[in-house]
Structure 1
Amino acid sequence: MEEFLGKEYKMVSEENFEQYLVHIGLNYIKRKIAVNTRPIQCLTRNADGKYKFTVHSSMFTWDMIFEPGVVFYTEKPDGGQIESLITFEGNVMTHKQWDKKGLTSVHVLEFTRDEVVTVRCCI
């Protein structure tokens, strides 16, 4: 993942994004706003060796600080609390998350020189 650290990627599209928003219970108006927002995504590594994945737009900023392979807790931009596990394999970052209601989703982000392709799967 070293070659992708510190690069900013503008979201152009995400596969299954609206289905994911339905899965987590986001209402119609918030879903329409979310699918039409084009945030910037950036992966960095802090001095302590932990990673930070930031998603930001004019409407919100979401920072996740994590160690690959270690479960952590975070708050989503909509205010919901989730448990997460992020792993790396080559140029792929897999983010599994689950909430107190048992809703689980997997977000697979494939980093390339020019873009990040994100596919979401709801379980």
Structure 2
Amino acid sequence: MAVDTVSVDSTVVCLEPKLRAPLRTYIYDHKPIMDEFLGKKYKLKSSENFEEYLKFIGVGLVSRKLATTVSPVCVLTKNDDGSYNLAMTTTVRNMILTFTLGEEFSEERPDGTKVQSLMIWKGTELIQTQTKKSGRKSTHIRKFSPTTLTVTTTADGWNGTCVRVYELID
């Protein structure tokens, strides 16, 4: 079976022929840009539409209220095996996502929902797609800069956009 590919900014996405949906993503030449942000700590400074997003994806009232009162610190690190850790630490809970770029992995969100996730790196963005068993997707675009990390979140069926801005603290 022939597989079509699309190339954008040194990212090659192989598409499943009938569905034209990503089958596998390969990342090239991401190290020089991505490595610049490894180990840097970014702390949440502002948040827009976060509670609305949490409500849309079904997070309960108490958990939503708690989530909106904490200021997470986000750190991206690289492991010896080439995988990455994305750590989100708060005074209430710490979460670490371990992933390999372009490889789907199972994840349990803070609300307990199990999803399949895929992380790709494009330019200065770490793009995460979470897919629930129902097929509904959320997309989190983490745009890194030397002084800020901006996370833009959208979801299938939701007309809003959540934007959370983190500032460099380390």
Q: Per the shorter chain, which TM-score range?
A: over 0.9
1:94 aligns with 2:94: no
Corresponding residue pairs, total: 123
8 Å CA contact 2:63–2:111 kept in 1: the answer is no
Gaps of 5+ in 2: 1-33, 157-170
| Structure-1 separation of matches of 2:109 and 2:83 | 19
Q: Secondary structure at the match of 1:12?
A: strand
Gaps of 5+ in 1: none
Specify which of 59, 77, 80 is matched with residue 44 of structure 1: 77
Match of 1:3 in 2: 36
C-alpha deviations, 1:24-82, integer Å up to 9, x for none? 10122221211121011010000000011111101111111111111100111222211
Q: Secondary structure at the match of 1:78?
A: coil
Higher normalized strand content (fraction of residues): 2
User: Which AA in structure 2 matches 1:75?
Assistant: E
| Structure-2 separation of matches of 1:14 and 1:86 | 22
| Structure-2 separation of matches of 1:16 and 1:85 | 23
User: Which AA in structure 1 matches 2:88?
Assistant: V
What's the % identity of the aligned pairs?
35
Structure index of larger Rg: 2
CA pair 73-63 structure 1, distance change in 2 beyond 3 A: same
CA pair 14-109 structure 1, distance change in 2 beyond 3 A: farther
Q: Which moved more, 1:44-53 or 1:24-33?
A: 24-33
Superposed structure 1 runs of 4+ greater than 6 Å apart: none
